[in-house]
Structure 1
Amino acid sequence: MQCEICGEDIRESPFKVIIDGSELTVCTKCSHYGAPASKRVPVSRKVSPVQPTSVRPRRTQRTGFEKLAEEIMDNYDQIIREAREKRGWTPEQLAAQIKEKATLIRKFERRELVPEDSVREKLERILEVKLIEKISDDDWKGDKLHRGTTLGDIVNIKRK
């Protein structure tokens, strides 16, 4: 075994010293350069007992299929415009209320955009209107061949 400082072969028992935070194995001559490394004693951790908390029932996560049962109303543009005008607000004032841009409100009212869920919820809360409707199972039963719901039944294709 060699000294990690001077490189000489260690003939006696090696010393373990700490020099600048590093533990080195050194010879007798170099052992005075560092502090002797003490053996580490594992510290037992005392863990305080955990008090049981009341278990709240978990909220069930809504999957995408529940959202398919809701659809934005066909006349959402009229509902938004009439509710805004009923309060005497301009599109800019409504936009300030829901913290969105006024151009977004104008595009909703011209049916150029469909409100995303987050914006729709803000509009429903501020204007006190409902913009979504539940789709009943009767709406889906119009299939003559009874082959079930297809992607084409769900997707509403918009062409420009």
Structure 2
Amino acid sequence: MPLQRRRELIYCEMCGMPIEGRSYTIVVETTEMVVCERCYRRYMSRATRTGTDEPLRLRIAPRREKPEPARPATPSTPQHTEPRPAVSPSVRQQPRKPPRRRGPGLGAVERYEVVEDYAERVRRARERLGLSQKELAIKVKVGENVIKRIEAGTLVPHIDLAMRLERVLGVKLLEPVVEEED
């Protein structure tokens, strides 16, 4: 009985279909994927339209082009001679702002905790402003049930929600806790 060679099937990691013919390896958000030609063409056409083509062409499988011999750079010749892709103003990188310094001193990490009597503070401030629980929920963009549970004291609001409640109600719900780093 002659031995038969089994052909190993490779499946496209994007559409799930078996790959017949050439397979391509692309990088999608730092993940290498083996894809069929159809998915490769669709993906690369989108990448070309959005201007993110260059980093994605890093790993296109099996064919390799010959690198050009390196020419020494002269002061009168610019370093980059290949044209840069046109980038829309909305995609253009903006200058970075210097990072904000956190905490009162070096080595300190500032974090917040919700005060113990948060439920009573929220209820009193809401009533003082003449808001219903439903109106407050709409203003802070949460469900009405969340406000009811916070006022009942069964739900401690997370820091983001506590900050929104502070802004809308004009009360202090967070207190900073400073811990020294080791």
- TM-score, scaled relative to structure 2: 0.42
Which structure has the larger Rg over C-alpha atoms?
A: 1
